Amino acid sequence: MDDQGCPRCKTTKYRNPSLKLLVNVCGHSLCETCVEALFVKGSGICPECGTALRKNNFRVQLFEDPFIEKEIEVRRKILKDYNKKEEDFKTLEEYNDYIEMIETLIFNIVNNIDVDETRQMIEQYKRENKDQINKGRNKKSKDEEYLECLIEQEKEESSLKRKFIVEEEQREKDSKKKHKEALLDELMFSDRSALDILNEHKTDIDKENELRVPVMATTKFSTGIKLMGKYLRHIRSASDEEKGGGFESKLACMRALLDAVNGLFYLPDQV
Amino acid sequence: MKLNIDGLLVYFPYDYIYPEQYMYMLELKKSLDAKGHCALEMPSGTGKTISLLSLIVAYMKANPLEVTKLIYCSRTVPELEKVVAELKNLMDYYEQQLGKGKPKILGLALSSRKNLCINPEVSQERDGKNVDALCHKLTASFVRANHKRDATVPVCSFYESYDAHGKEMPLPEGVYGLDELQEYGRKKGFCPYFLARHAITHANIVVYSYYYLLDPKIAEVVSKELSKNAVVVFDEAHNIDNVCIESMSIKITRRTLDKCQQNIDGLSKQIQRLKDCDAERLKTEYQKLVQGLRDANIARETDVILANPVLPDDVLKEAVPGNIRTAEHFLGFMKRFLEYMKIRLRVQHVVSESPPSFLKDCYQKVCIERKPLRFCAERLNSMMRTLELVEIHDFSALSLLCHFATLVSTYAKGFVLIIEPFDDRTPTISNPILHFSCMDASIAIKPVFDRFQTVVITSGTLSPLEMYPRILDFRPVTMATFTMTLARTCICPMVVSKGNDQVAMTSKYETREDVAVIRNYGNLLVEFCSIVPDGIVCFFTSYIYMESTVAAWYEQGILDQVQKHKLLFIETQDAAETSLALLNYQKACENGRGAVLLSVARGKVSEGIDFDHHFGRAVIMFGIPYVYTQSKILKARLEYLRDQYQIRENDFLTFDAMRHAAQCVGRALRGKTDYGIMVFADKRFARADKRSKIPRWIQEYLKDGLCNLSVDEAVQVSKRFLRQMAQPFSREDQLGLSLLTVEQLDQEDTKKKLQSRMQYV
């Protein structure tokens, strides 16, 4: 990163650590001071390629290669319109052809090959597929949904884990204290030999440690619906006797919920 | 001798057998019968290898349909050679006993090109990677096609003649070590490497390194077509989880990325060139990719050097996504990904992230979706083939990046990304590293367990046994640990917990800099130097600790006192220096001068170098060799183990430390006529949780009375022990106790006695 510099005033990151490089739509970088100097009026031309630029379109250069910066800018714009997902196509082949076409469009614009023609094509596509574009704008692809689901799961697990660890520590502290007290009591009042008592305590503690295996399970439907506190509010809470028999109020809640949404899968023509 | 193991006739090439060998074979037979996996621990020096070989060969002979193949994996080339030597010994015995009727068995060793190449120009290279690259340059299919057109293009004559005649002519039965393979290759003019690689598909016994089976990149090429009815043996498997993890982890530095940039520039030039002169080829590649990768990619064996890591099958069948189909688009795609990686490496503090959130961020920043990333490795391979690049080695950086892309998008769980902006030791120098670290050892080994009917995991130190099935995620049918039956007590383990001044000895972090502790450690060494004959090996917990301790000893004059008795050698991080030190250490032991070797647990000396007989009469373990617990990667793995397998951090750390300690002290005893003192110099070794994790064959002799000694007491115990050991000891003393003949083995009460000595887990 040190060897990057402004092409106009030749300052480098090495000489001026606070150097800030900016780029505009044409993909050529300029440092902040040069931008201030050149674009006093708010607009001007790029010193490298002569494209007319606006000052407020400059933004901080994120990538080392300004070319990539430009490409991603273009890509974002095009993907906004060409937003069909894999699910919108009948076959995988069609989808593959479609994404290849997008790729070609981007490639042409970025590398200045038939720019006008390409832009026309894009405009035409926009006009023809207006509805589709608006519909697809906020839709997420399957992959994205999958990733988001995973990330959410992760968050949930980590919060659970944190809680669990705190509890575990507390419990361990308590049990240690208890054991110590019990041991001292026994040593004070029992008539057995001290060694026996010590050994017995040791085995007791070992046994207890073995028994304790951390289990973590979140209640979840096979469909992925999560059981929130809200649902449980409308369910009769289980009495102590019922709990003793293994019944929990969330079981009933889950069944009721499933019943409620089961109808969605009823397709008359299949019957 | 001929043995009857549970109804199976086993030819054993020696006149006597150790009781534990007999028990070992019994257990092995059980798991072969059950077609399940097993984990067996037996002390080193009790003939594991020959027991394994003779039983499995006998089993193959008796049930030729059930077990067709034995795959024996070991770690180093010398170990491979040892196995081959034992196998030869066994086959000679068969020949001697049965003559013509001996089983027709083809056994061979496989190693890298570096160890097998006989091409006079190529084999001169020292570096394994260079040999591979040179070989590829001479044998790739497009090079050979060019050769047909233009005879001046050089090819490897050995490979040519192998390809012309060698494939139809199967290797005659017999046992081939690396040298024999080379010899056979020279005689026939065949390339021994490709000969061996071709032959492993029909060989009965294959001996090679772990990596050929565990590293998905290599396994895909070499071991893909091995039959299901095979028995796989992992010998010296105490570190197998680390091998698995290493083979799946990737490290990317700023330099890697710079090289990637060069690679991409180079590739784009190549593509431009190809476009100008031979655009047809790009078009055919494109057509192939449209149809789908796999059927176009009929693995031509020499081309698949840059093979892909494990991928789910459905990906392999699907066609490459449209947006990376043409060469330019793919290059643009890689450029974007590379730029993204660059900004990720520009961090100020340590970042730890899971693959899903990495992918999400990647999509937001550079619009790269998950799907094309998964195809990266395959796509790059195809491109390299189309461009007919000869110097594959030059593009290793880019292929590494592609592997990373494929792995990160394939596995959502079991991996973690850790980006460190600088090394912990030098916080001022920016040196960003991205670790893509595998935390689940079972990912790499799962295909092995799934595919082969019996997998045997065995080693001299595999304690605690129950840990291995958990971290490798498999269900063993038998797990057993065998102790050493000894005619005399020839090991003397002890825990020295305090110095003569009653100051506790420990390498605990808080007290390790304490002058009294260091002095006591020094005293221990001096005292042992004065009473133990020949060689003493000492192990420290880390290089840094060793350096500081030795510096302190120098100031305290302890080193002078040591040198009055023995010569002093030190292991360093430099491999060449260490091997020189080892050589001189052995020389000093040979001529009776006696020597001390200071080395480090987990170092080169602690793994794989034997100090049998006078090379190691005492081993001193200074402290418990815990791994560096502050490493981010280790922390992530511990957390993963706790969540996924309910293994607590401390349990795993202790387990890891104790298996290394056991490895270290186990170096001293390599057979039944050998003897050695094992000193655990840390008071924490006496605690129940540590003591119970020492292998059973050592634990047996670690009595309560030997668990809390001061230096003085330890010296007294050792003196007595050494005097006992100095008495003459002959084979007759061992017979019937630790050495059995066939007749003795058949007696009913011996069998009962043996049964009582074994322990199942």
> Tell me: the pLDDT tens digits for B65-123?
888 899 999 988 888 999 999 999 999 999 998 888 788 889 999 998 888 999 888 88
Domain that holds residue A162: 152-212
Residues A55 and A2 in one domain: yes
Residues A42 and A83 in one domain: no
Which member of A99, A107, A161 has the closest CB to residue B332? Answer: A107
Which member of A64, A96, A154 has the closest CB to residue B356? Answer: A154
C-alpha distances out from residue B503 to A96, B119, B343, B678, Å: 74, 63, 53, 21
Low-confidence ranges of chain A (pLDDT < 50): 1, 216-220, 271
Asked if the structure places residue A159 within a domain, the reply is yes
Buried b (16+ CB within 10 A) or exposed e, B205-236: bbbbbbbbbbbbbbbbbbbeebeebbbbbbbb
Asked if the structure places residue A161 within a domain, the reply is yes
Residue type, B566: K
Nearest chain A residue to B689 by CA distance is A206
Asked if the structure places residue A183 within a domain, the reply is yes
Give the whole-angstrom CA distance, residue B565 versus residue B58: 51
Contact A96 B326 (CB under 8 A): no
> Tell me: the pLDDT tens digits for B546-582?
999 999 999 999 999 999 999 999 999 988 899 999 9
Which member of B323, B359, B365 has the closest CB to residue A102? Answer: B323
Contact B322 A75 (CB under 8 A): no
Look up residue A211 and give its DSSP letter. Answer: H
**Which pLDDT value is given to residue B750?**
74
Mean pLDDT for chain B overall: 87
Asked if the structure places residue A3 within a domain, the reply is yes
What's the pLDDT band for B175 if we cut at 50, 70, 90?
A: very high
> Tell me: the pLDDT tens digits for B613-655?
899 999 999 999 999 888 888 988 998 888 888 888 888 999 9
* pLDDT surpassing 80 at residue B156: yes
**Which pLDDT value is given to residue A190?**
81
Residue type, B379: R
CB pairs under 8 A between A and B: 87
* pLDDT surpassing 70 at residue B511: yes
> Which phi and psi (to 5°) does residue B570 adopt?
-130, 135
> Tell me: the pLDDT tens digits for B427-463?
788 889 999 999 989 888 888 888 888 999 999 888 8
What are the tokens at B348? 């100020």
Q: Which of A68, A209, A211 to mutate to test the interface with B (most CBs of B within 10 A)?
A: A68
Chain B partners of A62 at a C-beta cutoff of 8 Å? 343, 365
Percent of chain A past pLDDT 90, that is, above it, reads 2
What's the pLDDT band for B468 if we cut at 50, 70, 90?
A: very high
* Smallest Cα distance from B625 to chain A, Å: 24
State the residue for tokens 């419990």: A171
Using DSSP's 3-state secondary structure scheme, residue B418 falls into strand
Residues A31 and A2 in one domain: yes
Residues A48 and A76 in one domain: no
Residue type, A105: L
Which member of A101, A107, A202 has the closest CB to residue B328? Answer: A107
Residues A159 and A205 in one domain: yes
**Which pLDDT value is given to residue A115?**
85
Q: Which of B43-52, B560-569, B746-755 has the lowest mean pLDDT?
A: B746-755
* Smallest Cα distance from B360 to chain A, Å: 7
- The verdict on B323 touching A (C-beta cutoff 8 Å) is yes
Stretch 347-366 of chain B: residues touching chain A, C-beta under 8 Å: 354, 356-357, 359-360, 363, 365-366
Chain A partners of B412 at a C-beta cutoff of 8 Å? 150
Contact B643 A100 (CB under 8 A): no
> Which phi and psi (to 5°) does residue B605 adopt?
-65, -35
Q: Which of B36-40, B279-283, B662-666 has the lowest mean pLDDT?
A: B279-283
Residues A20 and A74 in one domain: no
Chain B partners of A63 at a C-beta cutoff of 8 Å? 339-340, 342-343
Which member of B318, B365, B371 has the closest CB to residue A143? Answer: B371
Of B732 and A163, more confident: A163
Give the whole-angstrom CA distance, residue B229 versus residue B326: 42
Q: How would you classify the pairing of strands B759-760 and B476-481?
A: antiparallel
Residues B555, B539 contacting (CB under 8 angstroms): no
Chain B partners of A101 at a C-beta cutoff of 8 Å? 322
- The verdict on B113 touching A (C-beta cutoff 8 Å) is no
Give the whole-angstrom CA distance, residue B654 versus residue B311: 34
Stretch 381-420 of chain B: residues touching chain A, C-beta under 8 Å: 412
Nearest chain B residue to A103 by CA distance is B323
What are the tokens at B496? 């020295």
Residues A187 and A164 in one domain: yes
**In the beta sheet, which residues pair with residue B740?**
B17
Asked if the structure places residue A181 within a domain, the reply is yes
Identify the H or E element spanning B122.
Answer: none
Residues A71 and A35 in one domain: no
Asked if the structure places residue A162 within a domain, the reply is yes
Give the whole-angstrom CA distance, residue B27 versus residue B17: 16
What are the tokens at B651? 């349990």
Nearest chain A residue to B337 by CA distance is A68
From A36, A33, A38, select the one nearest A19 (Cα to Cα): A33
Contact B360 A147 (CB under 8 A): yes
Asked if the structure places residue A253 within a domain, the reply is no
- The verdict on B643 touching A (C-beta cutoff 8 Å) is yes
- The verdict on B317 touching A (C-beta cutoff 8 Å) is no
Using DSSP's 3-state secondary structure scheme, residue B15 falls into coil
What's the pLDDT band for B340 if we cut at 50, 70, 90?
A: very high
Nearest chain A residue to B325 by CA distance is A100
* pLDDT surpassing 60 at residue B395: yes
CATH code for position A51: 3.30.40.10
Give the whole-angstrom CA distance, residue B297 versus residue B289: 10
* Smallest Cα distance from A203 to chain B, Å: 11
What's the pLDDT band for B304 if we cut at 50, 70, 90?
A: very low
Nearest chain B residue to A1 by CA distance is B346
Give the whole-angstrom CA distance, residue B747 versus residue B740: 11
Q: Which of B348, B370, B638 to mutate to test the interface with A (most CBs of A within 10 A)?
A: B370
Using DSSP's 3-state secondary structure scheme, residue A230 falls into helix
Of A107, A139, A171, the last residue of a domain is A139
CA angle A90, A72, B382 (to 5 degrees): 60
- The verdict on B254 touching A (C-beta cutoff 8 Å) is no
Scanning B685-747, the segments in alpha helix (DSSP H) are: 688-691, 696-699, 711-725, 731-734, 742-746
Domain count of the fold of chain A: 3
Residues A161 and A177 in one domain: yes
Q: Which of B358, B367, B416 to mutate to test the interface with A (most CBs of A within 10 A)?
A: B367
What are the tokens at B647? 């293994």
Residues A60 and A72 in one domain: no
Look up residue B9 and give its DSSP letter. Answer: E
State the residue for tokens 């590398």: A111
Residue type, B534: D
Of A64, A85, A113, the last residue of a domain is A64
Q: How buried is B408 (Cβ within 10 angstroms: 0-12 exposed, 13-18 middle, 19+ buried)?
A: buried
Give the whole-angstrom CA distance, residue A220 versus residue B657: 39
Buried b (16+ CB within 10 A) or exposed e, B356-368: bbbbbebbebbbb
> Tell me: the pLDDT tens digits for B185-223?
999 888 999 889 888 888 899 999 988 888 877 777 777
Contact B360 A144 (CB under 8 A): yes
What are the tokens at B726? 């100095």
* Smallest Cα distance from A147 to chain B, Å: 6
Look up residue A88 and give its DSSP letter. Answer: G
Query: Dihedral of CA B25/B27/B33/B37: which sign?
Result: negative
Of A212, A242, A263, the last residue of a domain is A212
Asked if the structure places residue A246 within a domain, the reply is no
Q: Which residues of A touch B (CB under 8 A)?
A: 1, 62-65, 68, 71-72, 75-76, 79, 92-93, 95-104, 107, 141, 143-144, 147-148, 150-151, 154, 157, 161, 202, 213-216
Chain B partners of A92 at a C-beta cutoff of 8 Å? 318-319
Query: Dihedral of CA B478/B7/B14/B676: which sign?
Result: positive
From B416, B402, B490, select the one nearest B700 (Cα to Cα): B490
Q: How would you classify the pairing of strands B415-420 and B567-570?
A: unpaired
Give the whole-angstrom CA distance, residue B478 versus residue B465: 11
What are the tokens at A203? 């085995």
Give the whole-angstrom CA distance, residue B622 versus residue B609: 19
Residues A82 and A34 in one domain: no
Nearest chain A residue to B292 by CA distance is A93
Residues A73 and A129 in one domain: yes
Give the whole-angstrom CA distance, residue B518 versus residue B504: 11
Give the whole-angstrom CA distance, residue B619 versus residue B588: 17
Q: How would you classify the pairing of strands B37-41 and B8-11?
A: unpaired
